[in-house]
Chains A and B, each alone.
Chain A
Amino acid sequence: MLDTEEVRTFVQGTVHFFETATGHPATVGSPYLCIDKAAVVQDYAGVIGISGNREGKVYFTAPRGMLSVMLMCMNETDTGEQNVRDLVGEVANTISGNARRDFGRNFIISTPTICDRTNAATAAATTGRSFIIPINWRSYSANVVVCLQ
């Protein structure tokens, strides 16, 4: 089960990602618990499996419009389906990978699985308690979901 300090690691990682990668800061709302039900999945989600010293998953989920604007902020001209899916996985990968600064190298992350509304229920399903971290970026809302045993 995640403690408050561990949640802070993901909050800080999320803030750092948006500031550095897009040049536009994100604000993070108060993290809240979601117990024994699948958390909300927006248009796309990048899901990272966690193994090693912790078990579970971390995912980032966002609406298509937000991902397109993020690509544009990164000077990417191709905002097509493939790059949108690629980006949502890269965000999840970066936030999870950065968490190793605090969790150590035995916090092993998988390559991202990308889901959309058609397969999100299976890929993003969590058991037990998940922390949901709300993210507001420009006019968009997204979530980082952390479910770790």
Chain B
Amino acid sequence: MSAVPKPKQPLRMMIVDDSNVMRRRIERSQQNDQLEVVGTAVNGLDAVTKFKQLMPDVMTLDLTMPEMDGIECVEHVIKIKPDVLILVVSALADKATAVEAIEKGANGFLCKPFTDDQLNEALAELIGE
């Protein structure tokens, strides 16, 4: 008798944005059954604190936030968990900002505003589906 394959655990995802509307939008719109939202944070400082507790596998991250911005947050969380997958979700549409985020350790960039399909495509690409 062949062994029944064990169901794959979903990846744990954290959403970081200073906008409550945006946090809720991302949580509501993401349809990927490989992802489970385990926490949210309202700025980079809050994200680093919660990251240490939750140790997520995936993170969506805004850049323009009070207290600590997204670029600085990337530098912190990469030190805590180098293999975390980070999708920057930002309105900052210039190429230099996207390049800087990727160089610091982010894995993808989605420009606001976005549709639900664009969000789900970006997340699928992030986790290598």
Contact = CB atoms under 8 A, between A and B. Distances in A.
Whether both chains belong to one complex is answered with yes
SS class, residues of chain A in contact with chain B: helix
Given A76-B24, A103-B94, 4 more contacts: A75-B29, A76-B25, A97-B92, A99-B93
Q: How large is the interface on B (under 10, 10 to 19, 20 to 34, 35 or more residues)?
A: 20 to 34
Given A83-B21, A111-B18, A20 B113 contact: yes
A104 B91 contact: no
A95 B90 CA distance: 11
Contact of B113 (A82, A86, A94): A94
Interface residues of A, number: 32
Contacts, number: 70
B19 A86 contact: yes
Contacts of A16: 113
Interface of B: 18-22, 24-25, 28-29, 64-66, 90-94, 96-97, 111-115
Given A94-B113, A111-B66, A100 B94 contact: yes
B113 A104 contact: no
A109 B66 CA distance: 12
A99 to B, nearest CB: 8
Contacts of B115: 20, 23
15 contacts: A16-B113, A17-B113, A20-B113, A20-B114, A21-B113, A83-B20, A87-B19, A87-B21, A89-B19, A93-B64, A94-B112, A96-B91, A97-B93, A98-B93, A109-B92
